[in-house]
Amino acid sequence: MNDNNPNTEGASVPTPCGARPLSNWAQICSGLCAALALIGACIGVYFAYSQVQTAIQTYEHAIQREKRQAAEDSVAKLYAMDNEIERWYTSTDFYTRDVFRDDDSGKHYKELLAKNDNKSKMVFERACALNGNMFEYYLLVRDNLRSHPQGKEITDAWDYYLKRTCEKSYGFRTYIYLDRDVWTTTLVSEVDRYSKGHAYDKKNEKK
């Protein structure tokens, strides 16, 4: 072979079979690095998202615990108020059934007024005030009570308690209506709703 053959001058050296140019390997490595970086970024985003979700769940659980505790506190106070009223009835020998549970027509209430017994009237008005305060408190915390595990049972029972008192007690309806400005709109609205179609004493109603 003539090493001085001009046709071989400047010819490229053949690439061995199976070998790749270095530039191709650099591109492959660069692509792998980019893919690994993308995977790492995705993993980071996933863990960040998981941490955010955990934080949200922890916050929501804390809020639920607070709501439940507030509901339990409200239930305890509500029943304490009711028990205190019952004890007060006992200490004053005040018989409540006639005027609070069986007097839609106002018969017993009017009999009480006809006696001209100021002490009995004061006791009755005090009983109305105590019941009004208790029901007003109940209506203010009613939404909180729904967070209690037995929330629906509790609110259903107390709604009925208020409804029965409004329907059955001519005197209680009258007491609330004659001085409705001192009560919350919520209580007055509920008394209006439950007392619809039931009479009350309008003689001394404010004009």
Q: Could you report the per-residue pLDDT of 15-49, keeping only the tens digit for each?
A: 555 555 556 777 777 777 777 777 877 887 777 77
% of the chain exceeding 90 in pLDDT: 40
Helices vs. strands in the chain: H and E counts, helices first: 6, 0
Tell me the C-alpha distance between 96 and 165, whole Å: 11
| pLDDT tens digits for range 149-192 | 999 999 999 999 999 999 999 999 999 999 999 999 999 999 99
Give the mean pLDDT of 125-130. 93
Question: What is the C-alpha to C-alpha distance for residues 66 and 192, in angstroms, rounded to an integer?
Answer: 33
Mean pLDDT of 136-141: 96
Torsion of CA 6, 9, 11, 12, to 10 degrees: 160
Distance CA 194, CA 132 (A): 14
State the average pLDDT over residues 66-88. 88
Write down the domain spans for the chain.
Answer: 67-194
Residue 9: pLDDT above 60? Answer: no
Residue 201, token pair as written in the block: 């004493």
Closest CA to 121 of 49, 201, 12: 201
Tell me what pLDDT residue 33 has.
79
Q: What is the predicted pLDDT for the residue at 19? A: 52
pTM above 0.75, yes or no: no
Q: What is the pLDDT of residue 23?
A: 66
DSSP label of 149: T
Of residues 183 and 120, the one with the higher pLDDT is 183
User: d(Cα 198, Cα 194) in Å, to the nearest integer?
Assistant: 9
| pLDDT value at 131 more than 90 | yes
At residue 62, does pLDDT exceed 70? no
- Give the model's confidence band at 128: pLDDT under 50 very low, under 70 low, under 90 confident, else very high: very high
Of 167, 183, 85, the residue nearest 127 (C-alpha): 85
